[in-house]
Amino acid sequence: MKRTVIGIILVIVGIGLLLSLNACYTENEALNKQRQDSVNLRTVNMQRAEALYPAPTNENFPIRSVLVEYTKRQDLTSHPWYTYVFSDTGAITHYFVSTTLPVSTNAFLGATQTIVMPADSGTPLAMDAPSLDGIYYGGSGSSSNQNGWIFIDATTNALGVIYGCKIMTFDAPLMLETEPQLITISPTTK
């Protein structure tokens, strides 16, 4: 009798599993058809759009040319960069000449994240990596709200950081009625 009851229960469970699998298959089938119809419609619309307005074939690539020139000029040594600092009202208050383009304080020499495999799970986690200065920063510093610009003054070789300012930088001086910000190093007092 026990075997008969167990057999009936197993048959009922088996039928239930088959019905639920069939329901999942039918539901997935409907979703797959809906997705495929959506993709087909988008493909047809894209073909119509391209027929009306075909993509042009570029010949000059001026935007790429600017990026290439930008990359080349970043690589120049002993090349002055004129950085103009704006006030909160948008007026240029002063400028300084640096040895390179100013570098964001959110830039790093190494990766800011590392993948860690926790001992208690098989799921890898992306974690903040320590900075090269031996300190952990929120988001490894890359998401810092202390956005600043690092530069080396061309005249004094002093390293400076400007925080919270809007700047623009050129590799030639602009014709403006503003004075350079002269940076001097104070004598060492003992």
The number of distinct structural domains making up the chain is: 2
User: Residue 111 falls within a domain, yes or no?
Assistant: yes
0.75 exceeded by pTM: no
Q: Domain range holding 3?
A: 1-55
- Per-residue confidence at 8, pLDDT binned at 50, 70, 90? confident
For 85-116, what is each residue's pLDDT tens digit? 988 888 888 889 999 999 988 887 777 788 88
- Over range 53-70, report the average pLDDT: 94
Please tell me which residue, 170 or 5, carries the higher pLDDT value. Answer: 170
User: Residue 61 falls within a domain, yes or no?
Assistant: no
User: Residue 133 falls within a domain, yes or no?
Assistant: yes
> Looking at the structure, do residues 110 and 165 belong to the same domain, yes or no?
yes
For 109-157, what is each residue's pLDDT tens digit? 777 788 888 877 778 888 777 777 777 766 544 455 668 899 999 999 9
User: Residue 64 falls within a domain, yes or no?
Assistant: no
> Looking at the structure, do residues 98 and 138 belong to the same domain, yes or no?
yes
User: Residue 65 falls within a domain, yes or no?
Assistant: no
User: Residue 5 falls within a domain, yes or no?
Assistant: yes
User: Residue 187 falls within a domain, yes or no?
Assistant: no
Radius of gyration in angstroms for the set of CA atoms belonging to the chain, rounded to a whole number: 32
Beta strands at 125-128 and 166-170: parallel, antiparallel or unpaired: unpaired
Pick the closest to residue 185 from 167, 166, 160 (CA basis).
Answer: 160
- Per-residue confidence at 27, pLDDT binned at 50, 70, 90? low
User: Residue 43 falls within a domain, yes or no?
Assistant: yes
Per-residue pLDDT at 141: 47
- Over range 39-48, report the average pLDDT: 93
> Looking at the structure, do residues 95 and 164 belong to the same domain, yes or no?
yes
> Looking at the structure, do residues 44 and 81 belong to the same domain, yes or no?
no
